[in-house]
């Protein structure tokens, strides 16, 4: 824990909130992935497994909107992908929560640092699709 | 092999990797990709995508438990995450232009290095170092509950060196789909002179954010296959949770030795496959 003086809102408090958020995010995504997995195996379990040759995922399992559409159509693979998306989003929410926490501590320098990390994460998740 | 059998076998293998990884503290991610590529004949790009996702799950799960103990330093973590996320993004973009053979070779070297590092005796941390101007300005110095009771204060050193090493750790993570905890601990433990317990817990805390930065790119590029990532993520998560709950007083010396031998053998095998083109 870093020293921050006697502010009512401390780093330890922020770390506890972050811990709870991480646990909730991981539990929720594991649950969604499990449900999707059961549906996927029930429907496709007897087909041949083949991951030797790389062909990339179809476009509906790559983009945010495609994954959500597929999941709500109750496709097993779509639901799993939605769970994985929730998992990837969990650290992003953690970083966003940290910005709020540093704002509560009136720590402008760390709000900027955390903001940079958030921009990089959002770019990766939303912007890199059209990158190249 | 049909999908049901394949899924169950991958889940069992991932469970074992997660269990051993958390029991030995060496991380399960590092053996996942060789396991998937060498034994299950999965294309290395799919393997890296699935491994990245599982790395987020285990590190977030573990960090949730760690942060409450007051060892991790959220400021050191946040500041260094600028370096690791930018590195991860660079690594993930680079992965698209590197041949799968070269990926296998780099992976093999990384495994051998991890195995070496796990056998190397840990150097005793220097205590009572003078405060460093930059680290003080960045408010990184902190304290943690010490074994003797009470709190121990520490002063962070050499921030630029640590920051650069972290960029490298992030790039390796994005390139290979691993947490690269070994390089992160090297940066914090060796370069920045942060106490071991603070380094390892803060590193664990950072791994999720680092992996998320490259996972987004992998997802957008179609490298994350739900059918493969599902058993890998659930298996590793369950294994590492079980490992963490029996870790408390288990004797892990022999286990650590065995696991580091496994890592070294897998490293040699990845190198061989990379050079002979079997990947």
Distances (CA, A) of B204 to A128, B209, B255: 25, 10, 21
Residues of A in contact with B234 (CB under 8 A): 30, 33-34, 37
Give the ipTM of the model, two decimals please: 0.88
**What are the pLDDT digits (tens) for B164-203?**
999 999 999 999 988 887 788 778 888 898 888 888 888 8
- Rounded to the nearest angstrom, the minimum Cα separation between A73 and chain B is 16
Using 50, 70 and 90 to split pLDDT, how confident is the model at B123?
low
> Are the Cβ atoms of B214 and A124 closer than 8 angstroms?
yes
Using 50, 70 and 90 to split pLDDT, how confident is the model at A117?
very high
**pLDDT at residue A131 in the model:** 42
Kindly tell me if the per-residue pLDDT of A4 is higher than 60: no
DSSP code of B129?
Answer: P
Those residues whose C-beta lies under 8 Å from the C-beta of residue A98, and which sit 6 or more positions away, are A14, A18, A114, B74, B78
The owner of tokens 């590029």 is B221
Please, are residues B48 and B229 in contact by the beta-carbon 8 Å criterion?
no
**CB half-sphere exposure, A62, CA atoms < 13 A:** 15
B143 closest CB neighbour out of A1, A19, A114: A1
**Considering Cα of A77, then A82, then A87, then A91, what sign does the dihedral take?**
positive
**pLDDT at residue A3 in the model:** 46
**pLDDT at residue B250 in the model:** 56
Using 50, 70 and 90 to split pLDDT, how confident is the model at A29?
very high
Does the predicted model carry a pTM greater than 0.90?
no
**What are the pLDDT digits (tens) for B229-255?**
999 999 999 998 888 777 555 566 777
Kindly tell me if the per-residue pLDDT of B122 is higher than 70: no
The owner of tokens 């990797």 is B17
Residues B258, B275, B37: CA angle, nearest 5 degrees: 55
**pLDDT at residue A132 in the model:** 37
**What are the pLDDT digits (tens) for A57-113?**
777 777 777 788 888 888 889 999 999 999 999 999 999 999 998 998 899 999 999
């Amino acid at each position: 824990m870093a020293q921050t003086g006697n502010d009512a809102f401390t780093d330890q408090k922020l770390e506890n909130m972050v811990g709870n958020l991480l646990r909730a995010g991981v539990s929720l995504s594991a649950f969604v992935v499990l449900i999707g997995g059961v549906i996927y195996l029930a429907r496709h379990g007897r087909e041949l497994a083949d991951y030797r040759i790389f062909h990339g995922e179809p476009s509906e399992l790559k983009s945010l909107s495609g994954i959500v559409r597929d999941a709500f159509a109750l496709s097993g693979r779509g639901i799993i992908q939605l769970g994985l998306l929730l998992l990837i989003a969990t650290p992003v929410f953690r970083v966003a929560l940290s910005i709020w926490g540093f704002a509560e501590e009136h720590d402008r320098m760390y709000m900027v640092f955390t903001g940079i990390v958030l921009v990089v994460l959002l770019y990766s998740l939303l912007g890199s699709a059209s990158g190249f | 092999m049909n999908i049901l059998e394949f899924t169950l076998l991958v889940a069992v293998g991932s469970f074992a990797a997660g269990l051993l990884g958390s029991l030995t503290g060496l991380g399960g991610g590092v053996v996942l990709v060789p396991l998937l590529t060498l034994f299950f004949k999965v294309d290395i790009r799919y393997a890296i995508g699935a491994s990245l996702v599982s790395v987020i799950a285990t590190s977030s799960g573990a960090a949730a438990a760690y942060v409450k103990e007051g060892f991790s330093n959220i400021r050191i973590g946040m500041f260094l995450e600028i370096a690791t996320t930018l590195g991860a993004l660079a690594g993930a973009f680079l992965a698209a232009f590197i041949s799968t053979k070269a990926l296998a070779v780099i992976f093999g070297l990384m495994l051998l290095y991890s195995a070496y590092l796990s056998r190397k005796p840990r150097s005793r941390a220097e205590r009572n170092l003078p405060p460093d101007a930059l680290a003080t300005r960045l408010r990184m110095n902190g304290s943690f509950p010490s074994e003797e009771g009470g709190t121990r204060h520490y002063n962070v050193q050499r921030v630029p060196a640590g920051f650069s090493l972290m960029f490298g750790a992030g790039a390796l993570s994005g390139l290979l789909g691993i947490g690269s905890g070994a390089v992160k601990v090297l940066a914090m433990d060796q370069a920045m002179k942060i106490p071991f317990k603070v380094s390892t817990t803060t590193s664990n805390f950072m791994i999720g954010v680092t992996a998320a930065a490259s996972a987004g790119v992998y997802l957008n590029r179609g490298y994350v296959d739900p059918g493969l990532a599902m058993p890998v993520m659930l298996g590793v998560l369950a294994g590492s949770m079980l490992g963490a709950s029996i870790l408390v007083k288990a004797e892990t010396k022999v286990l650590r030795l065995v696991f580091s031998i496994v890592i070294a053998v897998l490293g040699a095998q990845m190198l061989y496959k990379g050079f002979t083109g079997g990947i």
